[in-house]
């Protein structure tokens, strides 16, 4: 069946390619312990399994862009916590020089 699929698709994938893809997906699943992945793959050393954690260049770039976007949003959106229920908002506005109304 696998050989027929390769013929139809014009590809030359191997079962090891499928194992590699599944391993990469499991290792990068935040809900999956890397130790479990290690045991499923029958790796003696965890460092062998950790090779599947290497991000692609595109993933690193996307993570960097997302980080800078979050930082920019944080700079442009000042966080103002609401006062505790026991404090009078108008009194705090006068105290800290905020405009009323």
CA–CA gap between residue 23 and residue 6 (Å, rounded)? 21
String of b and e for 35-55 (b: at least 16 CB within 10 Å)?
eebbeebebeeeeebeebeee
CA–CA gap between residue 75 and residue 85 (Å, rounded)? 27
Q: Quick check: pTM over 0.75?
A: no
* pLDDT single digits (tens) 10-29: 999 899 999 999 999 999 99
Q: Which helix (H) or strand (E) holds 35?
A: helix 34-41
* pLDDT single digits (tens) 69-82: 999 998 888 777 77
């Amino acid at each position: 069946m696998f050989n027929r699929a390769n013929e139809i698709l014009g590809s030359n994938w191997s079962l090891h390619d499928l194992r590699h893809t599944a391993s990469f997906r499991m290792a990068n699943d935040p809900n999956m312990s890397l130790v479990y992945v290690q045991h499923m793959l029958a790796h003696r050393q965890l460092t062998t399994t950790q090779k599947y954690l290497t991000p692609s260049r595109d993933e690193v770039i996307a993570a960097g862009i997302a980080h800078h976007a979050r930082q920019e949003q944080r700079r442009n959106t000042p966080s103002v916590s609401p006062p505790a229920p026991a404090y009078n908002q108008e009194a705090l506005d006068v105290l800290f020089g905020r405009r009323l109304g």
